[in-house]
Structure 1
Amino acid sequence: MERIGIIQMTSGPDIDENLDFIAQQCELAAKQGVKLVVTPENATQFAHRNAYHENAERLGDGPIQQRLSGIAKQNQLTLVLGSMPIRTEQGVTTTTLVFSPQGECIAHYDKLHMFDVDVADGHGSYRESDTFKAGNQIVTAETNIGTVGLSICYDVRFPELFKALRLAGAQIIVVPAAFTAVTGKAHWEVLLRARAIETQCWVLACGQTGTHPCGRQTWGHSMVIDPWGCIHQQLDDQVGLLVAEIDLSHSQQVRQNMPLTQHSRFQNALKRK
């Protein structure tokens, strides 16, 4: 059994305030024997395009990443930072960072799918590609509890990514998110459970929640889903820490009993080409 933590947040524009909350929750997690913690998308800052671009850091360099590294090292846990703005030569990405218990950044993932949609809420139109450049790589991280596949929010609507993460060796898939209240109520749980069933992986879904200072409303309802698609534990709309124990041998048993990857005729057909 491995003990994991999920930090549900209502992040705002103040980076230091958000980092202080992450540090506080990681300390609580460490005291409970947690080995890996996940934060939501936009955990370090929930604001607008100009703020994201002004505060974007180069990968591996900057005070935000230094603080996150210190939090992981001080608490001797793997910290999966849901996303923060990272500056590249091509533009700014929204990027997951994985810090080891030694404080090293061992993996990063640039969000592949941009949330360019219209939603029947107070915000109305979302055009994430106006702020961020999409990534182009599938990423897994070798952590102290197993192989973790990385995704961010809107990615959960694209099962091809999750199947690719499974084929890349993922035992656990993280879904840090800032789902809108409208889309979250309609689709959050069913999408997450489907991805767990299809991949036969543990899914750790970590959401932003509540009404943010910018006026946006997010769904929350962070949850841990087992490889059979059952909700293992979940939060409602409160901020705070969820601690759960996951058993990777359960995934092995599910895969043995129902060997989806061996049975997939589509996958085998691709191999023959």
Structure 2
Amino acid sequence: MIERYYAAVCQTDLPCPRSRDEIASRVGFLLGMIDRAVVGYEPFFDVRLVVFPEFAHAAPVYETVDELREKLAVPIPNEHTDRYAAKAKERGIYIQTGTFLEVDSKWPGAVFNTTCLIGPDGLLSRYRKVNPWLPWEVHASPHDLPGYDEPLFPVVETEIGRLGAAICYDWLFPEAIRALALAGAEILIRVSAYMDPWGATPPLDWWTLFNRARAVENMAYVVAANQGARAENYPPFSWPGGSMIVDYDGRILSQADPGPFEKIVVGPIDLAALRAERQRRRGHHLLSHLRAEAYTDLYARPIHRPATRS
């Protein structure tokens, strides 16, 4: 077990791909960012976790699922995840990829927005966005597929702790991140494309608000990578960056300045301190104080109403 290490969040400002043929060159650029993070900081500390933002490989830029399947979606695993696996093995690190638009023969007709956790031993898990940003995102939620039988909120035991990821809009739902924490997650990874005006600038700054709140309520580290893209790269929005690392008490350990630009931000993860606090603390221990039985009737009836573009 590696108890103390650094994480790197890599925000990007790149043109939005229109074809899957563009993904290979994009992966090459992102692999270069990994080398910069790991090698550049090696004289000072060990970077063991590298996280990329949502839409790093492809965004749902077309209006229909059929167009996404035809032009951008890929199966997982694929040649790109193989390249990440080779890099993870070379550097002895764990990589939370930016999202792919994914197709899976088990679920014909569906396109998922998916991020992968990849380590030295290869592909460890994939997380499919449970809460698409309606009405703009037309890809599927696995929650909505009849008979879906894979974990919605996977958590992976690794040598750098128990890792769980969720994507962007998922983080506005406390239940989604609590599901990861209750499954044992110690490091909560946010793969995001959080746009203006809700991003990392006042007066709203939902980005910082929810990252810090989820860290506190789940007594876990939050490692959050956001897009830092200009509007011409990802229209119609600009993406304000602000990628950050937050500790289990909600302290911001490091953060990129707000603004649309490429940036690598690093910050410490002290797994030993987190585990000691979870073991020792009696006050403000929200996980152990949770009276789950008090809320069993809260969602007794379905309340989800899918929204579509008008």
1:34 aligns with 2:42: no
Match of 1:9 in 2: 12
* Distance in 2 (alpha carbons) for counterparts of 1:53 and 1:250: 48
1:263 aligns with 2:286: no
1:183 aligns with 2:191: no
Instruction: Tell which structure's C-alpha radius of gyration is larger.
Output: 2
Following superposition, the deviation at residue 27 of structure 1 comes to: 0.9
* Larger helix share, 1 or 2: 1
- Whether the 8 Å CA contact 1:203–1:224 is kept in 2: the answer is yes
Following superposition, the deviation at residue 47 of structure 1 comes to: 6.1
Over the aligned positions, Cα root-mean-square deviation in angstroms equals 2.1
Partner of 1:74: helix, strand, or coil?
A: helix
* Distance in 1 (alpha carbons) for counterparts of 2:233 and 2:59: 8
* Distance in 2 (alpha carbons) for counterparts of 1:144 and 1:175: 20
Partner of 2:179: helix, strand, or coil?
A: helix
What percent identity do the matched residue pairs reach? 28
Select the residue among 241, 254, 262 that pairs with 1:233: 254
When the two structures are superposed, what TM-score results if normalisation uses the length of structure 1?
0.87
1:43 aligns with 2:43: no
- Whether the 8 Å CA contact 1:3–1:244 is kept in 2: the answer is yes
1:54 aligns with 2:57: no
- Whether the 8 Å CA contact 2:59–2:101 is kept in 1: the answer is no
Following superposition, the deviation at residue 52 of structure 1 comes to: 6.5
Following superposition, the deviation at residue 96 of structure 1 comes to: 1.0
Following superposition, the deviation at residue 217 of structure 1 comes to: 1.0
| Amino acid across the alignment from 2:72 | N
Partner of 1:181: helix, strand, or coil?
A: coil
- Whether the 8 Å CA contact 2:69–2:103 is kept in 1: the answer is no
1:197 aligns with 2:197: no
* Distance in 2 (alpha carbons) for counterparts of 1:17 and 1:251: 38
- Whether the 8 Å CA contact 2:163–2:189 is kept in 1: the answer is yes
* Distance in 2 (alpha carbons) for counterparts of 1:67 and 1:53: 23
Select the residue among 20, 27, 33 that pairs with 1:19: 27
Q: Deviations over 1:29-65 (max 9, x none)?
A: 22223111110011113461345652322222x3322
1:213 aligns with 2:233: yes
Listed as ranges, the matches of 1:94-243 within 5 Å are 94-102=113-121, 104-116=122-134, 126-128=135-137, 130=138, 132-136=139-143, 137-184=152-199, 185=201, 186=204, 187-211=206-230, 212-215=232-235, 216-236=237-257, 237=259, 238-243=261-266
Following superposition, the deviation at residue 260 of structure 1 comes to: 2.0
Distance 1:214 1:231, change over 3 A: closer
Q: Deviations over 1:52-92 (max 9, x none)?
A: 652322222x3322222233233221111031111022411
Q: Deviations over 1:169-222 (max 9, x none)?
A: 000100010001212132110111110010010000100013142433112100
Partner of 1:260: helix, strand, or coil?
A: coil
Distance 1:53 1:234, change over 3 A: farther
* Distance in 2 (alpha carbons) for counterparts of 1:270 and 1:80: 33
Partner of 1:243: helix, strand, or coil?
A: strand
Instruction: Specify every segment of 5 or more residues in structure 2 that has no aligned partner in the other structure, as ranges.
Output: 144-151, 297-310
1:249 aligns with 2:272: yes
Following superposition, the deviation at residue 253 of structure 1 comes to: 3.9
* Equivalent pairs, count: 258
